[in-house]
Structure formats: structure tokens, C-alpha cells
């Protein structure tokens, strides 16, 4: 009898864990983190945000169509591509990516990872660690590069091996 009372006393504690908060912070290297645990003690972090899962409702993902009118007779240029983008409000790179898709009349489905627990879970399910996280057809892009997006969309020829090496060297120099 005592063991069953003990078990019943544990049930509320287990339910509390299911509604744990999500922490978001930026580390000293500018990397955005999302975790069920707070930032590590002693680590230099900025922009710590605690998102309470129980306080948020799950909206439908925002489907964005190009601004020009389309029809079966006038399809958008890039309608054949499936584009999904995970964003966070206030992210300059997210804004740049969204502007690119809008300017090029490329339809996309946008997921705001701060809008709801469902959106954050969807982001976690695809092993998202930073924004923007973009899927163009079956190809994944972590972060934003217009050149890579154009390549994935078939809007330019793929870079040569030398061009890729030069890009990687430039990126390493910037860090």
C-alpha cells in the first residue's frame, strides 16, 4: 500500500517534466542554441530567452506565395521546388533568406520556431540547431547563402571544386 502511495505522489512530478521550459541563447561565438536545460554556468552568453511551452498555442505554419498572380496558365518560375524555412523573428539572416525567396517569386512554407511548442518540436525533429534552416527539395541548408540557394534551385551552375575551396577559405578567414 505504501509503494502505491509513493507512485501516486510521483505522477505530478512526471507531468511537470513534460511541460519543461525551452531555453534559447547565443554563445560567445554567435551560435544560437535551443535546449530544455539553461545555458551552462560560467559560459558567456547573450539573449537568454525562456519559452514556456504550456503558455503557447500552435498556429498553422505560414504558407507564403509569391506576390504575383499565378494560375495553371501562368505558374511561378520556381513552383516545382518545395521550400521549407525555419526562422526566428529578428534574425537578419532569416530576413535575407525570406527576401530572396519573395523577390524571386519562389513559394515557401515558413515555420517560426518561437511561435509554438509544435514549431519548436518540428525544428528539433529535423535536428535544427540554428536559423535559418532551409530545405530546398531534399537538400538541407544550415544558415543562409544566396549562392547555395541559387545552386539548389538550379538558378546557376554548380561551383567548381576550386570555387568551393575558395569559398571555404574565405569563410575560415572571416572567423
- Cis peptide before 132, with omega less than 30 degrees from 0? yes
When pLDDT is averaged across residues 14-27 and rounded to a whole number, the result is: 57
pLDDT tens for each residue of 75-124: 445 458 899 999 999 999 999 999 999 998 999 999 999 999 999 999 99
Closest CA to 85 of 136, 35, 19: 136
Q: Look over the chain and give the mean of its residue pLDDT values, rounded to a whole number.
A: 75
| Domain at 62-174, CATH from 3.40.30.10, 2.60.40.1180, 3.30.70.1230, 3.30.830.10 | 3.40.30.10
Average pLDDT over residues 146-173: 81
Alpha-carbon gap, residue 51 to 122, rounded angstroms: 15
More confident residue, 133 or 63: 133
pTM: 0.48
pLDDT of 133 > 80? The answer is: yes
Residue pair 116/56 in contact by the 8 Å Cβ criterion: yes
Amino acid at each position: 500500500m505504501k509503494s502505491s502511495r509513493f507512485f501516486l505522489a510521483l505522477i505530478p512530478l512526471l507531468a511537470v517534466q513534460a511541460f519543461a521550459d525551452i531555453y534559447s541563447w547565443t554563445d560567445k561565438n554567435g551560435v544560437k542554441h535551443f535546449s530544455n536545460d539553461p545555458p551552462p554556468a560560467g559560459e558567456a552568453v547573450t539573449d537568454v530567452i525562456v519559452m514556456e511551452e504550456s503558455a503557447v498555442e500552435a498556429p498553422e505554419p505560414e504558407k507564403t506565395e509569391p506576390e504575383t498572380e499565378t494560375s495553371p496558365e501562368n505558374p511561378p518560375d520556381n513552383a516545382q521546388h518545395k521550400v521549407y524555412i525555419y526562422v526566428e523573428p529578428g534574425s537578419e539572416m532569416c530576413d535575407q533568406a525570406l527576401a530572396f525567396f519573395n523577390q524571386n517569386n519562389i513559394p515557401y512554407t515558413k515555420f517560426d520556431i518561437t511561435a509554438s511548442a509544435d514549431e519548436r518540436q518540428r525544428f528539433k525533429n529535423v535536428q535544427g540547431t540554428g536559423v535559418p534552416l532551409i530545405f530546398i527539395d531534399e537538400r538541407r541548408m544550415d544558415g543562409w547563402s544566396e549562392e547555395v540557394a541559387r545552386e539548389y534551385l538550379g538558378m546557376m551552375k554548380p561551383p567548381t571544386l576550386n570555387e568551393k575551396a575558395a569559398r571555404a577559405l574565405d569563410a575560415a578567414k572571416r572567423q
